[in-house]
């Protein structure tokens, strides 16, 4: 499969600019972890999949922003979403709910945003169409969508001429949690040459940048021709380019998902778009004039901390923000989030309180950047709260870990209508199932039978079994596991409609 004929060294890059405007293709990067929004955001269910500031997830919000853009949008503009194997079922389910059928690229390993974009650019070029890629993080908030789309139109014009364009946000205040773009020579209509990058400066430098007015926040949104990105990576990061190209060429489709070859992709260096390319443009002879920044004034926030989440939402007369079962009494400038239990804040000031089923965070708003370090300490203790919620999503539904001990684990399992678990067995645990609601079709060894409400069955150690929901309503049951080892890796799958066997 020859898809990279235009990737060699090219002296006249104007040859790669189509006579007619290339179509615009959204690329959504959905592989982040969002550890600073712990305990809501965790590795198995990170912030882009959660409704942090609204009823829909941040990923769904990101897709909505590109609806009707550009005006000649059609099915060929269905977004490319780069994500991990672990999240692909939830992403597909969320976006299908939005009547969007994304093209998923499943990363075999985490290698940060530059390799992720390289895979997406390869997929875009494979069709023979050199699209303008609009590269969007999936975990940001933007309140003024028309302003975003207007900025993207300006950025696309520069990308069409061979530039790589960053959207820069004129800063509202000094902030040490953002990267900054140093603004250079004006190019008209607000756009400027990129004069350099600064990664998350100290407070005194951030204040100087804002006062001088020559530094903008780096939004993480980029616009570039697919072929131009591939050329830049080949020039600036040849090892990354070689690994990603090899991984793509040896990859294969799995339904609507594209799976790059794992071995080659894992040889790619790990690096971000900023470090691998953007910060090196001015030092490169070939790409010195390629960087352009277009202003974005659209109510942007990267939601990179609980303080940013507080700032992005409407507040009461005392400056408080509450989500879920929350009450304030004499509190000021506080943020409280409840996943279930009542959270009451009395006399608090500048405090963040986040409650989940298995963890509670209490933090000063000025110290919320330290949450990432806290999560690292929790992870070092091998505590499951660092990575997993008590409620774990699966492609067939979810389970909620109600209680557990040394030799038992109690779960509430909910199976979606028409869904079924894999045909499997366990070497170390037995399982007792009690149906609470709905109807279960059970395979146990050579037997297949139905269970209704208040009926139960027992699955001995080592017996092949499967659970299905043949009905039109959710199936809910209580599972009691018992045995010498109760880890989730004690599963041998023989058949699975979700490709996990």
Cα 411 → chain centroid: 27
The answer to whether residues 265 and 107 touch, using CB atoms and an 8 Å cutoff, is: yes
Determine the topology of domain 391-495 in CATH: Jelly Rolls (2.60.120)
Q: Would you place residue 91 in the very low, low, confident or very high pLDDT band (cuts 50, 70, 90)? A: very high
Give the 3-state secondary structure of residue 358: coil
Report CA-CA distances (Å) from 279 to 33, 186, 198, 500: 23, 19, 9, 40
Say yes or no to pLDDT of 81 above 50: yes
Say yes or no to pLDDT of 128 above 80: no
359: nearest Cα among 379, 342, 339: 339
21: nearest Cα among 159, 147, 187, 226: 159
The answer to whether residues 97 and 63 touch, using CB atoms and an 8 Å cutoff, is: no
Q: Would you place residue 4 in the very low, low, confident or very high pLDDT band (cuts 50, 70, 90)? A: very low
Report CA-CA distances (Å) from 201 to 94, 198, 299, 311, 365: 36, 7, 22, 20, 19
The CATH architecture assigned to 24-301 reads Alpha-Beta Complex (3.90)
Q: Would you place residue 459 in the very low, low, confident or very high pLDDT band (cuts 50, 70, 90)? A: very high
Report CA-CA distances (Å) from 84 to 6, 33, 80, 154, 405: 29, 11, 13, 32, 31
Look at residue 96 in the predicted model and tell me its pLDDT.
85
Look at residue 283 in the predicted model and tell me its pLDDT.
85
Look at residue 358 in the predicted model and tell me its pLDDT.
93
A 10 A CB-CB count for 195 gives 15
Look at residue 2 in the predicted model and tell me its pLDDT.
35
Say yes or no to pLDDT of 203 above 70: yes
Of 88-92, 404-408, 436-440, which has the strongest mean pLDDT?
436-440
Residue pLDDT, tens place only, 116-126:
999 999 999 98
The encoded tokens of residue 71 equal: 């005006």
Say yes or no to pLDDT of 76 above 60: no
Say yes or no to pLDDT of 13 above 80: no
Q: Would you place residue 22 in the very low, low, confident or very high pLDDT band (cuts 50, 70, 90)? A: low
Q: How far apart are CA 466 and CA 121, in angstroms?
A: 40
Look at residue 213 in the predicted model and tell me its pLDDT.
87
Residue pLDDT, tens place only, 217-272:
999 999 999 999 999 999 999 999 999 999 999 999 987 799 999 999 999 999 99
Q: What residue spans in the chain does CATH classification 3.90.550.10 cover?
A: 24-301
Say yes or no to pLDDT of 295 above 70: yes
Q: What residue spans in the chain does CATH classification 2.60.120.10 cover?
A: 391-495
133: nearest Cα among 144, 119, 143: 119
Say yes or no to pLDDT of 10 above 50: no
Share of the chain above pLDDT 70, in %: 94
Q: How far apart are CA 362 and CA 355, in angstroms?
A: 9
Look at residue 256 in the predicted model and tell me its pLDDT.
77
Alpha helices per DSSP H over 237-330? 238-249, 262-266, 273-276, 306-311
Q: Which residue has the higher pLDDT, 172 or 351?
A: 351
Mean pLDDT confidence for 75-86: 81
The model's pTM is 0.86
Say yes or no to pLDDT of 75 above 50: no
Residue pLDDT, tens place only, 413-425:
999 999 999 999 9
Look at residue 100 in the predicted model and tell me its pLDDT.
77
Share of the chain above pLDDT 90, in %: 74
Q: Would you place residue 71 in the very low, low, confident or very high pLDDT band (cuts 50, 70, 90)? A: low
Mean pLDDT confidence for 294-318: 95
Look at residue 285 in the predicted model and tell me its pLDDT.
80
The answer to whether residues 349 and 339 touch, using CB atoms and an 8 Å cutoff, is: no
């Amino acid at each position: 499969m020859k898809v990279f004929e235009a990737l060699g060294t090219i002296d006249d890059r104007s040859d790669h600019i189509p006579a007619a405007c290339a179509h615009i293709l959204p690329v959504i990067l959905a592989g982040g972890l969002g550890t600073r929004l712990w305990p809501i955001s965790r590795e198995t269910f990170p912030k882009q999949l959660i409704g942090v500031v609204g009823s829909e997830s941040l990923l769904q919000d990101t897709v909505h922003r590109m609806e009707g853009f550009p005006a000649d949008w059609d099915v060929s503009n269905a977004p490319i979403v780069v994500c991990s194997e672990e999240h692909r079922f939830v992403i597909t389910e969320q976006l299908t709910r939005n009547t969007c059928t994304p093209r998923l690229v499943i990363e075999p390993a985490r290698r940060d945003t530059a390799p992720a974009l390289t895979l997406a650019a390869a997929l875009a070029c494979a069709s023979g169409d050199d699209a303008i890629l609009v590269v969007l993080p999936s975990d940001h908030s933007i309140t003024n969508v028309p302003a975003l789309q207007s900025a993207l139109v300006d950025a696309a014009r520069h990308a069409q001429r061979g530039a790589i364009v960053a959207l820069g946000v004129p800063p509202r205040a000094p902030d040490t949690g953002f990267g900054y773009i140093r603004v250079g020579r004006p190019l008209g209509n607000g756009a400027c040459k990129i004069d350099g990058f600064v990664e998350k400066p100290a407070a005194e430098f951030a204040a100087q940048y804002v006062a001088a007015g020559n530094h903008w926040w780096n939004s993480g949104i980029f616009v570039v021709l697919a072929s131009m990105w591939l050329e830049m990576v080949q020039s600036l990061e040849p090892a990354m380019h070689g690994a990603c190209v090899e991984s793509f060429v040896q990859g294969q489709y799995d339904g609507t998902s594209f799976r790059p070859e794992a071995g080659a992709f894992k040889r790619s260096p790990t690096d971000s778009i900023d470090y691998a390319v953007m910060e090196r443009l001015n030092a490169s002879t070939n790409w010195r004039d390629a960087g352009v920044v277009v202003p974005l004034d659209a109510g942007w926030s990267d939601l990179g901390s609980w303080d940013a989440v507080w700032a992005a939402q409407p507040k009461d007369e005392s400056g408080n923000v509450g989500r879920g079962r929350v009450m304030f009494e004499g509190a000021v400038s506080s943020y409280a989030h409840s996943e279930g239990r009542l959270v009451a804040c009395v006399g608090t000031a500048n405090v963040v309180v986040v409650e989940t089923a298995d963890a509670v965070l209490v933090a000063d708003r000025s110290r919320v950047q330290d949450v990432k370090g806290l999560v690292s300490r929790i992870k070092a203790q091998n505590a499951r709260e660092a990575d997993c919620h008590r409620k774990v999503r699966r492609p067939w539904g979810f389970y909620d870990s109600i209680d557990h001990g040394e030799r038992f684990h109690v779960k509430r399992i909910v199976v979606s209508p028409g869904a079924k678990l894999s045909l499997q067995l366990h070497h170390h645990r037995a399982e007792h199932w009690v149906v609470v609601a709905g109807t279960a079709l059970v395979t146990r060894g050579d037997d297949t039978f139905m269970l209704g409400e208040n009926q139960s069955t027992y699955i001995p150690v080592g017996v092949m079994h499967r659970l299905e929901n043949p009905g039109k309503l959710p199936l809910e049951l209580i599972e009691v596991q018992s045995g010498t080892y109760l880890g989730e890796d004690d599963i041998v799958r023989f058949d699975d409609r979700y490709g996990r066997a």
